[in-house]
Amino acid sequence: MRIAIHGRNFPESARPYIQSMFEELVKRQADVVISEGYREFLDKAGVAHYSEDTYSTTNGVADVDFIFSLGGDGTLLDAVTHVGPRLIPIIGINIGRLGFLATVAPPSIRLMIDALFNGQFSIDERSLVGVRASQDIFGTLPFGLNDFTITRTQTSSMITVHTYLDGEFLNSYWADGIIISTPSGSTGYSLSCGGPVLLPQTDNFIITPISPHNLNVRPMIVMDSCQLAFEVESRSGNFLAALDSRSFTVDTTVRISVQKESFKARLVKLSDDNFLNTLRSKLNWGWDIRN
């Protein structure tokens, strides 16, 4: 089995689990390839990874059976861009904080590896949001797992986002911005702005305004088979466009459209991985000091 590994820095408490992971992979004679940046971090941190094979995050990873993402949800979003349309299954190991996407706890890493080698897992396919624009914004990575956002720059006042649904005018959002979220991203930025939570397999986008001037403008759910298009007005003449954690300043003359990407991200789901359990755990549903 050939496994790619990508991650970020980790607390000292996670070191034994990460070291144990590499030792377990060596014991099982797995071929390991590590992202260049993470390899440098592991070397500086003194973690023995037993691998000389690296991959460039610019070119992405190929010819592997799985990719391990060690960190929080942000690290897993990075891994999605490393995989792109190659459909490599991604396993999120939660060494971060909240973790709606990265669901494997460090103490469970050995059990997770055992499940992979014994085929005791399923694949959870997640839809992606794809962005097209009249000017190249996101280069070779015009897709994201969580959301696409249009927001004002730090120095500008509110912006107006004229929004069209399948070519028909929908609304002009006078706000700090607008979020187009996938079901996977419904527990992210959209949720903090009042958007609903969607089950991961729902075939929808969420349109969530950010601090709208008109209080009667509410989040809206639309089918992900539609195409959304945007024209932005801003006193500063520009705005910020972001796909997951990648953001760029864009001129208001640029026209942008959003639709479901042609390929999906494939997340590994273990037998004890349940989205409803994750919601209850992370959002403290059902917990009340009165009870």
CB atoms < 10 A from the CB of 20, how many? 15
Please pick, among 73, 147, 224, 244, the residue that the annotation labels catalytic: 73
Three-point CA angle 277, 279, 284, nearest 5°: 100
Dist. CA 6–CA 8, nearest whole Å: 7
Long-range contacts, stretch 210-213, CB < 8 angstroms, 24+ apart: 210/149, 210/151, 210/175, 210/176, 210/177, 210/178, 210/179, 211/158, 211/175, 211/176, 211/177, 212/173, 212/174, 212/175, 213/158, 213/174, 213/175
Q: Which two tokens stand for residue 228?
A: 């959304």
| Residue 219 and residue 209 in contact, taking contact as beta carbons nearer than 8 Å | yes
| Interior angle at CA 143, CA 210 and CA 69, nearest 5 | 100
| CB-CB neighbours of 257 under 10 Å | 14
The end-to-end CA distance of the chain, in Å, is: 49
Q: Residue 216: CB partners within 8 Å, gap ≥ 6? A: none
- HEC profile of 87-124: CCCEEEEECCCCCCCCCECHHHHHHHHHHHHCCCEEEE
User: Is 251 considered catalytic here?
Assistant: no
Residue 209 has which token pair? 């305004």
Task: Collect all residues with Cβ–Cβ distance below 8 Å to 84 and sequence separation of at least 6.
Answer: 60, 141, 143, 263
Q: Which residues are catalytic?
A: 73
